[in-house]
Chains A and B, each alone.
Chain A
Amino acid sequence: MFLALWYYLHGYVMITVSGFSVERFVNMATFRGIYLWNIQPKGSSIQMNVSSKGYSLLKECAEKTGCQYHIVRRCGLPALIRKYKKRKILAFGILFFVAALYTLSSFVWTIDIEGNERIAKEDILTACENVGMSAGKLKWNMHTDEVTQKLLETFPDISWVSVSIKGTNALVKIVEAIPQPEMIDKVTPSDLIAKKDSVIQSITTEAGTPIVQSGDVVKKGALLISGEVIIAAGEEAEVGREYIHARGTILGKVWYNLEESVPLQYTEKMYTGEEKKDKSIMIGNTILNVIQPNMEDSTYDKEKTSVNQFAIGDFKLPVAYIQETYKVYEIIQKQRTKEQAKKELENKLKQKAEEIAEGEIENIDIIYKIEENNVIATATITVMEEISEEQKREENTAYENKEEL
């Protein structure tokens, strides 16, 4: 096996030997150290392979034994090279192929990011780009250490980064730090204050002195539960004051005002059903769109129907085939009745109310008004909300309702 490879690389000659005593010729050649192989009879003569080096020594053997030999053909790598030497374009093609392979593989074509959950992929990519790592850049100019350093600097949330370049793929592996649980502070002296104007519905105190009662009207920032506790001995005598962390649940009614309007006359898109397809190829970020449908006279919506990314195995090529559909529409004037408008407004307001309310919605009052072409609705929404908010107690904290104490 290895011998065959050796002789293939060095070249060998296939010859036929004829004469009275081929055996003697073979013996003589062998004893002179010429390596012969694949000896087989071919009619009256014998065909065999002999190394190029050994071939030059055969002349003497042939003369002594009275045999004749002829070259059938020259084999092996040197003969092959000689044969292809004349084919310049082939050689150029091979060189071009190798060069193209080398240059194309010295770029990074894709960047994959693994392990990010909270941090957006785009943010990481931009951070990578700032240090010079982006798709389509030379591999040699990227320093994985720098990228690692940069990523750790920009995102304090990342606890471990590994950047590796494999072939034309760059892989950024990230481990995000576990978020620290919020500590519930139960020690620092603090008060509970109102975060909204409201009417107190219920108050439950866990710690501290309640200042307000249910039914009280409070303004934003008013003290609800004080962290100040008066320690009393017996009936009246005040012994001392202690400052603790006030805790409790205060539910209050909060009102919101909302306004919405809906025109009686409106326009709507009506798709005519006429569709035109557009096919294009995207290379990197540039779109090659050779043939575009003629849409000059009509209004239309453009919709991407499919994006086919070309890939070789797992490796995504920066080439994609995009199909888009142009949907033609006409603008139609429509009229709605007052009842319809009212219903629509109600739904809209309900949706809005749910968005802004932080608690349970108790009641929605809607007043409709018709003005020219519009129906205007004003809604008052009553919501039951938790209205307390913590505030650290400082020596000089002053409250609006201090006088009421």
Chain B
Amino acid sequence: MHGGILKRNVVNALELPKEVILNLPFISLTGKEELIIENYKGIIEYGDEIMRVSTAVGVLKIEGKELLLKQLTSECIVVTGSIKGISFLT
């Protein structure tokens, strides 16, 4: 579990945005062609079929074809291409 139990309870009770308070990654997927990861830590591996991004809850593995880092800023990553799967490697 990320964050203390008390903090988690407070966030749940007040319905606060978790990605902000608990520093969790916010991942949104549009179809299978665009993936936006906010609140990430860094890129571990980069290729056009496999991409690994470290986040606060572990390493996020993105598999797909012709992956392209459309945008890269300190807040978010935008990955385009045809995404086959995303999984957390803890």
Please report A residues at the B interface, Cβ cutoff 8 Å: 3, 22-23, 26-27, 30-31, 33, 35-41, 46, 48
- Could you tell me if B48 and A39 are in contact, using CB atoms closer than 8 angstroms? no
Contact with A along B51-78 (1 / 0, CB 8 A): 0000000000000000011111110000
Q: A30-B74, A31-B74 are in contact. Are A37 and B44 (CB under 8 A)?
A: no
When chains A and B are docked, how far (Å) is the Cα of A46 from the Cα of B51?
A: 13
When chains A and B are docked, how far (Å) is the Cα of A218 from the Cα of B46?
A: 121
Known contacts A39-B69, A39-B72, then 4 further A-B pairs from the complex at CB < 8 Å, ordered by chain A residue: A23-B45, A26-B43, A37-B70, A39-B68
When chains A and B are docked, how far (Å) is the Cα of A191 from the Cα of B44?
A: 118
When chains A and B are docked, how far (Å) is the Cα of A294 from the Cα of B21?
A: 97
- Could you tell me if A27 and B69 are in contact, using CB atoms closer than 8 angstroms? no
- Could you tell me if B74 and A33 are in contact, using CB atoms closer than 8 angstroms? yes
- Could you tell me if B43 and A23 are in contact, using CB atoms closer than 8 angstroms? yes
The 30 sampled A-B contact pairs (Cβ below 8 Å) are A3-B71, A22-B46, A23-B43, A23-B45, A23-B46, A26-B72, A27-B42, A27-B43, A30-B72, A30-B73, A33-B74, A35-B72, A35-B73, A36-B71, A36-B72, A37-B69, A37-B71, A37-B72, A38-B68, A38-B69, A39-B68, A39-B69, A39-B70, A39-B72, A40-B69, A41-B46, A41-B47, A41-B48, A46-B46, A48-B69
User: B68's closest neighbor in chain A, by CB?
Assistant: A40
Contact with A along B6-41 (1 / 0, CB 8 A): 000000000000000000000000000000000000
Q: Which of B47, B48, B69 has the most CB of A within 10 A?
A: B69
Q: Collect the chain B residues with CB atoms within 8 Å of residue A27's CB.
A: 42-43
When chains A and B are docked, how far (Å) is the Cα of A3 from the Cα of B78?
A: 14
User: B66's closest neighbor in chain A, by CB?
Assistant: A40
Q: Which of A36, A41, A48 has the most CB of B within 10 A?
A: A41
User: A3's closest neighbor in chain B, by CB?
Assistant: B71
When chains A and B are docked, how far (Å) is the Cα of A41 from the Cα of B67?
A: 9
Closest Cβ–Cβ distance, residue B75 to chain A (whole Å)? 9
When chains A and B are docked, how far (Å) is the Cα of A33 from the Cα of B68?
A: 20
User: B78's closest neighbor in chain A, by CB?
Assistant: A37
Closest Cβ–Cβ distance, residue B82 to chain A (whole Å)? 14
Closest Cβ–Cβ distance, residue B67 to chain A (whole Å)? 8
Q: Collect the chain A residues with CB atoms within 8 Å of residue B44's CB.
A: 23
